[in-house]
Amino acid sequence: MSAKPHPEIPPPALRLSVDRAALAANWRALDAMSDRAATASAVKADAYGVGIHNAMPALLEAGCRDFYVAHWCEVVGALDHCDAASLAVLHGPVNAADCAYARATGVRPVLNSLQQVRIWLESGGGPCDLMVDTGMNRLGLRPEELGDPLVARLEVDVLMSHLACADEDSAANDHQRSAFAAILGTVPHHRASLANSAGIALGEAYRFDLTRPGLALYGGVPRHEMHGKLSQVVTPEAAILQVRHVPAGETVGYGGTYRATRDTAVGIVALGYADGYLRCWSDLGMLRSEGRKLPVIGRVSMDMTAIDLSAAPDLAEGDWVSVEYDLPSAAQKSGLSQYELLTVLGPRIRS
């Protein structure tokens, strides 16, 4: 049987523009803000939707040597770029298969419970990170569990905790910081780590030996102290599939939520909610062409979005337009979090 060869696939009609130089500059800015602490990178969830193959080379070139993913299935993609000693898995080992995989790859598990400590030691132990819960009640051993004799048998590289409210001015931050400082003497470890992106801006007392930013690397601005120090990294871009001339009085899109008040040139763009440009942008979002504003009109469809081309009458089918996606302002406008705006971007747009 002769398999028919696949013809070459034509170029896509949508793409995520990733500014690797901005990503590297954001890491350097966070590393400078981290002062004497080293700066790791959270690259879980395909580097927050940016693409691990885009993010890790830029981060390594900038100087980053510590990386965190969440799932064991994310290890393979990360190991294409860094060695196993630079990588740890935040969810830790849930069963013997996870432990065996950690041992086979040499990647450190982050141990999050006494049960995880137990199965890690049963599998033979070795270098690991240890998460202590200082008030978030998500993952991590409670401080009172640290006296368990099993904990004393661990080879802890990074002893860590995670802040629940670092992007707010909350008394919880200082409570967590002092709870963390209080346990450092009780567990032998190489490095201590508390701060995520926002935590870096809370001050020197929060930085310890290693900071762990994610969001801010990718252009998110979690606290006002970081305004002006971080640059946008991702911009969704899409081609115009069709230009239509909508007469005054007619409506555009599902539900007819937009009605033209005058004869209007409308571009149908190859980007929709299946790509992560969610329906919340209906009659709200803004696209641009060379600085000219092209408002979204009507409802965002699964694969398409309509825009008003009045400001750019020269645009034609096949021309590319970009989505306004400055994360702090897009979050404010849409009601989505800056984290969601990044991670919601769908597989078709990931380059």
Ligand X SMILES: *Cc1c(COP(=O)(O)O)cnc(C)c1O
Q: Which residues are catalytic?
A: 44, 254
Residue 42 near ligand X by CB under 6 A: yes
Nearer to ligand X, 34 or 197 (CB): 197
Near ligand X by CB under 6 A: residue from 91, 108, 162, 299: 162
Task: Please report whether residue 90 would count as binding ligand X according to CB under 6 A.
Answer: yes
Task: Assess 69 for contact with ligand X (CB under 6 A).
Answer: no
By the 8 A CB rule, do 131 and 140 touch?
yes
Contacts 24+ apart (CB under 8 A), 72-79: 72/98, 72/101, 72/102, 74/43, 74/44, 74/45, 74/46, 75/101, 75/105, 75/107, 77/46, 77/52, 77/53, 78/43, 78/52, 79/105, 79/107
State yes or no: 191 annotated in a binding site: no
- Per CB under 6 A, 41 contacts ligand X: no
- According to the binding rule CB under 6 A, does residue 192 interact with ligand X? no
Give the residue nearest to ligand X (CB): 214
Least distance to ligand X, CB of residue 115, Å: 18
Structure-block tokens of residue 53: 């193959």
- Number of residues engaging ligand X in binding (CB under 6 A): 10
Of the residues 54, 197, 282, 305, which one makes contact with ligand X according to CB under 6 A: 197
Q: Considering the complex, what minimum distance in angstroms separates the CB of residue 156 from ligand X?
A: 15
Q: Tokens 């400055």 sit at which residue?
A: 326
Q: Is 259 annotated as a binding residue?
A: no
Report in angstroms how near the CB of residue 29 gets to ligand X at its nearest. 13
How far is 302 from 300, CA to CA, in rounded Å? Answer: 7
DSSP letter at 73? G
Choice from 92, 213, 236, 276 touching ligand X (CB under 6 A): 213
Output the CA torsion sign for 46, 26, 321, 246.
positive
Q: Give yes or no for residue 78 binding ligand X (CB under 6 A).
A: no
Query: Angle at the Cα of 87 (from 46 to 34), degrees rounded to 5?
Result: 90
Residue 214 near ligand X by CB under 6 A: yes
Nearest to 181 by CA among 152, 143, 214: 143
Rg (CA), the chain: 24
**Interaction between residue 298 and ligand X (CB under 6 A):** no
Query: 191: closest CA among 99, 86, 105?
Result: 86
Task: Determine, following the binding rule CB under 6 A, whether residue 92 of this chain makes contact with ligand X.
Answer: no
Binding interface with ligand X (CB under 6 A): 42, 44, 90, 162, 196-197, 212-215
